[in-house]
A = this chain, B = another copy of it.
């Protein structure tokens, strides 16, 4: 059943039927009802390919997925996707994942824009002066960044959490508990979120005349193994930290293991705080010692990004609007006063 047939049964022109269906004003309400009715009755659904060709709109949002033998997709991605899907489902938006060589995402961005494959895209894990961001900005496709970049002379729309604030608060708590030697096990130091977290922590330390020594900060990709290794190094130093702030729950698993390896205890010998993106399958309250966290649901972020992308596509949202979500600091058993 296509438009031609439908309009023929109604003895109307394709124009009128099309307009009736798409809510254009120049059609009689009575006629519109008739059309709508017939469309529903016959299960008419406009052919998206044809509509795409005519309008250039695809009804899909895009994400360029860096891939490669040495590239691991962040496990957070799946939770973000859950949220995105929650919203997208209700609006019949599909998501197109375009796998790209991690060393050359540009080609892929250009392709999907040139081909008008998607109406909007989102970027994640941005870095300062991120090339993708600059590219997408000049290409003129609607987009939203999940996270933030730095060092651009233009503004852009983003959704980020207050990483700096979160880690500032976490460090401040630890300092108030008497800790003087703090350490940070961070994510990839080239990504903005990691920079912000470090910044927040340094700010809190500076406020008390403390510093974060070079050896007390590790930047690694967020695996259990890396968390373990980083923690071991930290704890085996001459003057080990008495508190660690850690950028992910997965790494925190490794930290806990390292602490055990060394016969130490949490929070007796070491206080630990980690950032929690809220995974259903790994919860901080279930750690051997319930883990204090800075918490922000990445799933909700996914839903919000989808919502804003949809708004941008339909012109409801415009301009470089930034949105920063506060982060909860949830105190559980893994923190205590500094050992004497």
A45, A50, A73, A288 interface centre (most CB from chain B within 10 Å) = A73
Bound-state Cα–Cα, A95 to B108, Å: 13
| Residue A280 is within 8 A (CB to CB) of chain B in the complex | yes
| Residue A4 is within 8 A (CB to CB) of chain B in the complex | no
Bound-state Cα–Cα, A146 to B65, Å: 21
Bound-state Cα–Cα, A58 to B115, Å: 12
Number of interface residues of A (CB under 8 A): 61
Interface string of A48-60 (1 = CB under 8 A from B): 1110110010101
Indicate if the CB atoms of A85 and B114 lie closer than 8 Å: no
Residues 263-303 of A at the B interface (beta carbon under 8 Å): 279-283, 286, 288
Q: Determine how close the nearest CB of chain B comes to the CB of A277; give it in whole angstroms.
A: 12
Of the candidates B52, B115, B281, which one forms a contact with A223 in the assembled complex, judged by CB atoms under 8 Å apart? B281
| Residue A219 is within 8 A (CB to CB) of chain B in the complex | no
Bound-state Cα–Cα, A52 to B116, Å: 13
| Residue A189 is within 8 A (CB to CB) of chain B in the complex | no
Q: Please name 30 pairs of A and B residues whose Cβ atoms are closer than 8 Å in the assembled complex, sorted by A.
A: A45-B111, A47-B53, A47-B115, A48-B117, A49-B56, A49-B116, A53-B53, A65-B85, A67-B89, A68-B86, A72-B82, A72-B280, A73-B85, A78-B78, A85-B97, A85-B99, A89-B101, A94-B98, A95-B96, A95-B98, A95-B99, A96-B96, A222-B281, A223-B280, A223-B282, A224-B281, A225-B286, A228-B286, A250-B281, A257-B288
Closest 8 CB pairs of A and B: A85-B99, A67-B85, A89-B99, A223-B281, A72-B280, A49-B52, A95-B97, A49-B53
What 13 new A-B contacts, CB under 8 Å, besides A72-B281, A253-B253? A45-B115, A47-B115, A49-B56, A49-B116, A67-B89, A72-B280, A85-B99, A94-B117, A96-B96, A222-B281, A224-B282, A224-B286, A225-B283
